Amino acid sequence: MRKVLLMGNPNVGKSAIFSRLTGVNVIVSNYPGTTVAFTRGYMRLGEEKVEVIDVPGTYTLKPTSKAEEVATKMLKEGDLIINVVDSTNLERNLNLTFQLIKQNIPMVIALNFWDDREHKGISIDVKKLEKIFGFPVVPTVGVTGEGIKNLVERLPEAKAGTYDYEEKEKWHEIGKVIDQVQVLRHRHHTFLESFADACIKPSTGILIAIAVLYFSFTAIRFIGEGLIGYIMEPLFENLWKPLIMRLSAFLGSKGFLHNILIGQLVEGEVDFMQSFGLLSTGLFVPLGAVLPYIFSFYLILGLLEDIGYLPRLAILIDRLMHIVGLHGAGFIPMLLGLGCNVPGALACRVLETKKERFIAATLMAIAIPCMAQIAMIAGLVGKYGAKGLFPVFGTLFIVWIIAGILMKKYVKGESPAIFVEIPPYHLPYYGAVIKKLWMRIIHFLKEAFPFVLLGVFIVNILYSLKIIDFLGEISAPLITRLFGLPPEAVGALIIGFLRKDVAVGMLSPLGLSLKQLVIASVILCIYFPCVATFTVLVKELGIKDMFKSTAIMISFAILAGGVLNLIL
C-alpha cells in the first residue's frame, strides 16, 4: 500500500487537512524505538486505497529534536509528499520545501490558510509557483475544507521537483522565488489580530488569561457535572443498580465472592462510591464519575488548541515558569496533566533539555492532580467551600513553587529561552476537535479502566486478608503521629499507586474530619504518581532519574503532611 506523507512546519494546519482526507478512523502510534507519536489513516485515491500519515511537524531535515529526527526518518518510507505550507508565511515555510525537493520524491504543495493570506494583504501567483517547482500547488483552507477536493484530484499529478539550487545559496534562491510569486500590500489589523497581540502583552494578556481559564474550567465543571447528574448517575441508579442488587441477593449478600464483585453493602444497598466491588465502584468511578470530566476537559482543551490560544498562554507565563527552571512551554505538560497525568508526562518531551524534562515531569507528578482526582477531592472537601478546597490546592501550589526553585538550583543542566511558533487565531474545525476528543477518551479508557478494576480488586483482597490492618499498625507512627490520620487511611495510600482517584474515594467512608481530609488529599496528590504515569515517566526520564524524582515526591509528601498537621 502506498504511503502519502503530510509534511510541514508546526502549526501550518496539517491536522485539519489530515482530518479532511482521512475521516474518522485513524490510528495513533509511537514511532518504533521512540516516544514520538504520529497519526495515520486511509483514503481513496481513485480506485486505490492509500495510507495517509500526519508526520510530526518539522522546520528542517537536519534534526534539532527527537520529533524532527522522526520526521526525517519517516520521509524514507513515503511514496508521495503533501507539503503543507502556511501561505501567510511563505518564505520561512519554503526552507523545508527546498529541502524536500532534494529528496526526489513526488510532491504536491498545499498552500494552507489561503483565506488568512487575503486578510493579511498577501497575493501569491500559484501558477507561476507551479511552473518554478514543476509540481502541483493547490490553495487550501483546512478548517473549512476549501480546496481539499482539488488537492485530492491533483495528487496523481505529483512529481519530483525540478528546481535545482546549491545548498549554500538556498536562502538566496528562496528570496528569488518570493520576489517572483508574492506581492504584499498595505492593510490594517483585523480585530482578531489586535486581540492576538493583546493576549501576549502582560498589561492585557494576564486579564485575558484569567478570563479564559475561568470560563474554561467553569465550562468543564458545568459539562462534567451535567453529564454526571443527568446521564451517568441515573443510568447507574435506575438501570445498573437493580441488576447488581439481584446479583447480590443471589450471592447471599456476603462472602468473599460477593465482596469482590459487589463489595460491602451500605444500609443494605449498593453504594457506588463506597461499596468497592468490581461491578459497583469499579465501574462507576471511571465511567460515572471520571469520564464526564475527562470528556469536558479534552473538549475545551481541543478548542483552545485549534483556536491557537495555548502558544500565547505559554509566551505570557514564560517569566513565571522561569522561577521553577522552565520556560513558558513548560506550562503545556501542566495543563495536559490536569486532564490526565499520562499525556502530561508525554508532553514533557516538547522541552529541549534533560533538566527541563526532569523538572517538568517531577512538578507535574507532585502538584498537578488529574481531573479525575480533582473531581474526587472536590466531592470530599468541596462541601466545606473555600475552607476545604483552598488548603488543598494552596498547599499544592506552594509545594510546586518550592520544589521548582530547589530543582532549578540543584539539578544540573541548562534551561534555554522559549522558542515557540505562534499561529494566527482560527475558527476551530469541528471534525479535528471531535477526532482528537475521541482518541483521547479511548486512550483514557484503555489506560484507566484496567487499573481502576485492578485497584478495587486488590483493596478487597487486602481487606479480606487483614493486610490493610497489619500495614496500618506498622505505619502507625508515620500515619497517625506525623500526619494525624487513622491507620485505616493506609489502604488509600497503597491504592493511590494504582489509581489516585480511587484512593481519594476510599477516604470517604472513613469518617475523617476536615483537617484529616485535607492532609490525606494533599499527601495522595504528592507522594507518588499512579502506576500508568509512573510507567510513562520511567520511559521518559530513565530509571535513574525516576528514582531521584520519586525521592523528591516522597520527601515533599512527608514534609507537607507533617506541616499541615501542625498548623491546621
> Residue 233 corresponds to which cell in the numbers above?
448517575
One-character DSSP codes across 470-519: HHHHHTHIIIIIIS---GGGHHHHHHTTT-HHHHHHTTGGGT--HHHHHH
What whole-number distance in Å separates Cα of residue 416 and Cα of residue 180?
A: 38
Directed axis angle between helix 543-567 and helix 354-367, to 10°?
A: 40
Q: Please indicate whether residue 133 or residue 116 has the higher confidence score (pLDDT).
A: 133
Decide if 235 contacts 327 (C-beta within 8 A): no
What whole-number distance in Å separates Cα of residue 534 and Cα of residue 70?
A: 25
Q: What is the pTM of this model?
A: 0.65
Average pLDDT of the chain to the nearest whole number: 84
**207-224: per-residue pLDDT in tens?**
998 899 888 878 887 888
Burial 170-180 (b: 16+ CB within 10 A, else e): eeebbeebbee
Q: Which residues pair with 29 in a beta bridge?
A: 38
Written out in words, the top-level CATH class of the domain with range 3-186 is alpha beta
In order of 127, 152, 161, 162, 181, the CA distances from 131 in angstroms are 6, 20, 10, 9, 11
| pLDDT at residue 332, rounded to an integer | 79
Directed axis angle between helix 170-181 and helix 90-101, to 10°?
A: 120
Decide if 385 contacts 307 (C-beta within 8 A): no
| pLDDT at residue 392, rounded to an integer | 92
Q: Please indicate whether residue 27 or residue 325 has the higher confidence score (pLDDT).
A: 325
One-character DSSP codes across 265-332: -BTTB--TTTSB-TTTHHHIIIIIIIHHHHHHHHHHHHHHHHHT-HHHHHHHTHHHHHTTT--GGGHH
Helix runs in 308-429, H state only: 310-316, 318-322, 331-339, 341-347, 354-367, 371-381, 386-410
In order of 131, 151, 377, 475, the CA distances from 88 in angstroms are 20, 19, 46, 63
| pLDDT at residue 522, rounded to an integer | 92
Domain ranges for the chain: 3-186, 200-421+429-567
One-character DSSP codes across 442-456: HHHHHHHHHHHHHHH
Percent of the chain scored above 70 by pLDDT?
Answer: 93
| pLDDT at residue 292, rounded to an integer | 84
